[in-house]
Amino acid sequence: MRNLVTRSAWVAVIGGTLLLAGCASVDDVKRAQATADQALDAAHSAQQTADQARSDVNALSGRVSNVEQEVNDLKARHRGQRG
């Protein structure tokens, strides 16, 4: 996701430079900046979503580990009762 943010920033810089080099109007530059700002906002939103997903996965992983331990404990107890 950081790459996406970095790429978006570079696209904005390069796009802005090309527009200015091509004698772009003020409106063109404003539109380009608005588009770059939207891309950056979208990248930040995507990063937040990814961070939340990672947090959710970590929480679920912990729960799965607990369930696995409980199953192993039950198996051990069951073997002990049969013996």
pLDDT band for position 54 (cuts 50, 70, 90): very high
Tens-digit pLDDT profile for residues 15-53: 767 666 667 788 888 999 999 999 999 999 999 999 999
The DSSP output letter for 25 is -
Tokens of 18: 């090309």
Asked if residues 47 and 2 have their Cβ atoms less than 8 Å apart, the reply is yes
CA dihedral in degrees (62, 67, 72, 73; nearest 10)?
100
pLDDT band for position 63 (cuts 50, 70, 90): very high
